[in-house]
Amino acid sequence: MELRKEYFADERKDDLKEIGQPRLRSDALGHVTGTTTFFADRNLPGLLHLKMVRSPHHHARIRAIDLSEAGRHPGVVRILTADDVPHNVYTILTLIQVGPEDETVLATDKVRWKGEAIVAILADSERAAHEAAERVKVDYEVLPAVLSIDEALAPGAPIVNEYHGQNYYRYDSGESRKVRFGDVEAGFAGADHILEQTYGSGPIEHAPTETTGCIVVPEGSGRYTCYTNTQAMFFTLDNTSIILQMDGAKLHMVGGTVGGGFGGKVDVIVEPIAILGAKLTGRPVSFIYSREEEMQISSPRAAEKLVIKDGVMRDGRIVARYVKAYIDAGAYSRHSPYGAQKSAAHFPGPYTVPNVWVDSHCVYTNRTPSSAMRGFGVTIGDFALEVQMDKLARLVGMDPLEFRFVNAYRDGDMKAHRQPTEGAALIECMQEAARASNWPVSEKYLQMSSARREG
């Protein structure tokens, strides 16, 4: 790595003593010698193991659940169903007033995705819990499922999630979060070229080394200590308090070093049910995802579909940008309404475009709920935007890097969401990229500055 101090040198004092120093991180030795403690490094007498019975169907009505055989299985201590969960229908973002509650902790009358949790087995060993889970008999009436964004939004599509009433999240702005800036139609009318393209992506797994999990210990004080690898301690505590209708003062969340998060440990899935298990049995409970659960059950990055339509002039200026973004939330909201909203704020990217129209949709399908992942709402949008930029450059016969200089945002430029640009540095990154990769760029672009426009 190289620090290029000559850029923005007049905006920075490099006279600090600790900041800017490449100090050895205090936890490095523990990590590389395998002595760092993670939440699962606990051996507790009487520990119970929690295993979920999960839906084999994308969408089905539950007619009946027969626990008799599972309950008799050796080693089984307790089986939890929806009736045991005090506040069974919840949504994570209720803490920031993003509703409605739309997800069951344990399924009641329906399952809405393949893998949805229905019944929790608590047993003396992992093996007993696995075996008992296979002995739970669920009688399903399979329902038609919608598996893609297009199917979900087609007229007459089956409703994925009745708590929403339609297969998309309804914002105060309607079926999408909207950004309207300038007059996009006038922009297209005056453009030399118009290019409309569609982009897509599949779901992506966080792939942390350490899978999601927690160990709960009921304390003599009547409190519950939950050793967890959550990325957000109080998010977990507050949601658990709501789901279990338990005074937050009874909950003690203890984290530590997490073996990789990437957004996959922001959902609150394992802790509430494990704490409930500890409460109802009086014994410590471990609920740790298998690798298969981490990959197919825990929320992935959402699949996305983006339609981008641009109007561009022969000289390379983008004069209008229209974006329709669709985020496949799967069966439940989790963090996806937030992600779609973040996506709306991000367009049209780091470029100054006078006419912008954005509709960003959060769409429900009968799939594993997607949620937070490193850059969600932006990562796939940037893929689409930057491939589109390459296509536009070639369309007008310009070099792709020079084309970006023409359109790059600068300090003071008004963004589509109506905030003036501050602290821009795209131009300088591109100048340095041209230098580092010997990418030939006209001198006038190398003279540009993010801080001011020339002339």
Nearer to other proteins, 286 or 388 (CB): 388
Query: Is the omega angle on the peptide bond into residue 348 within 30 degrees of 0, that is, cis?
Result: yes
What is the H or E stretch that residue 119 is in? strand 117-123
Q: Please pick, from the candidates 232, 243, 319, 327, the single residue that binds other proteins as defined by CB under 8 A.
A: 232
173 binds other proteins (CB under 8 A): yes
Residues 179 to 208 in contact with other proteins, rule: CB under 8 A: 179-181, 197-205, 207
Residues 400 to 419 in contact with other proteins, rule: CB under 8 A: 400-401, 404, 408-409, 416-419
Q: What are the tokens at 452?
A: 């001011």
Nearer to other proteins, 36 or 81 (CB): 36
Residues 244 to 303 in contact with other proteins, rule: CB under 8 A: 251-263, 265-266, 291-292, 295-296, 300, 303
Closest approach of Cβ 425 to other proteins, in Å? Answer: 4
Closest approach of Cβ 410 to other proteins, in Å? Answer: 12
Nearer to other proteins, 112 or 265 (CB): 265
Nearer to other proteins, 161 or 228 (CB): 228
Q: At what angle do helices 426-436 and 400-407 cross, to 10 degrees?
A: 160
> Quick count: other Cβ atoms within 10 Å of Cβ 191?
19
309 binds other proteins (CB under 8 A): no
How many residues comprise the chain? 455
* Phi, psi (degrees; rounded to nearest 5) at 318: -85, 125
Closest approach of Cβ 43 to other proteins, in Å? Answer: 21
Q: Please pick, from the candidates 91, 167, 212, 450, the single residue that binds other proteins as defined by CB under 8 A.
A: 450
Q: Please pick, from the candidates 90, 235, 326, 364, the single residue that binds other proteins as defined by CB under 8 A.
A: 235
The piece of 103-111, 123-131, 136-144, 372-380 that touches other proteins (CB under 8 A) is 372-380
325 binds other proteins (CB under 8 A): no
Closest approach of Cβ 332 to other proteins, in Å? Answer: 16
Nearer to other proteins, 285 or 308 (CB): 308
* C-alpha of 272 from chain center: 20
The piece of 73-81, 82-90, 310-318, 360-368 that touches other proteins (CB under 8 A) is 360-368
User: 369 and 332 in contact (C-beta within 8 Å)?
Assistant: yes
Dihedral sign, Cα of residue 102, residue 103, residue 108, residue 113: positive
Nearer to other proteins, 76 or 246 (CB): 246
Nearer to other proteins, 194 or 204 (CB): 204
Distance separating alpha carbons of residues 6 and 8, to the nearest angstrom: 6
Closest approach of Cβ 149 to other proteins, in Å? Answer: 8
Distance separating alpha carbons of residues 23 and 452, to the nearest angstrom: 36
Closest approach of Cβ 237 to other proteins, in Å? Answer: 5
Q: What are the tokens at 388?
A: 């589109």
Residues 42 to 101 in contact with other proteins, rule: CB under 8 A: 58, 96
Distance separating alpha carbons of residues 180 and 377, to the nearest angstrom: 18
Query: Is the omega angle on the peptide bond into residue 100 within 30 degrees of 0, that is, cis?
Result: yes
User: 212 and 255 in contact (C-beta within 8 Å)?
Assistant: no
Q: Going by DSSP bridges, is the β-strand pair 251-254/110-111 parallel, antiparallel, or unpaired?
A: unpaired
Q: What would the DSSP string read from start to end of 187-228?
A: HHHT-SEEEEEEEEE--B----SSPSEEEEEE-TTS-EEEEE
Q: Please pick, from the candidates 51, 164, 346, 361, the single residue that binds other proteins as defined by CB under 8 A.
A: 346
What is the H or E stretch that residue 117 is in? strand 117-123
18 binds other proteins (CB under 8 A): yes
* Phi, psi (degrees; rounded to nearest 5) at 213: 180, 175
Closest approach of Cβ 140 to other proteins, in Å? Answer: 17
Q: Please pick, from the candidates 47, 87, 383, 395, the single residue that binds other proteins as defined by CB under 8 A.
A: 383
- Interface size with other proteins, residues (CB under 8 A): 128
Distance separating alpha carbons of residues 331 and 366, to the nearest angstrom: 5
Residues 128 to 167 in contact with other proteins, rule: CB under 8 A: 147-149, 151
* Phi, psi (degrees; rounded to nearest 5) at 78: -160, 145
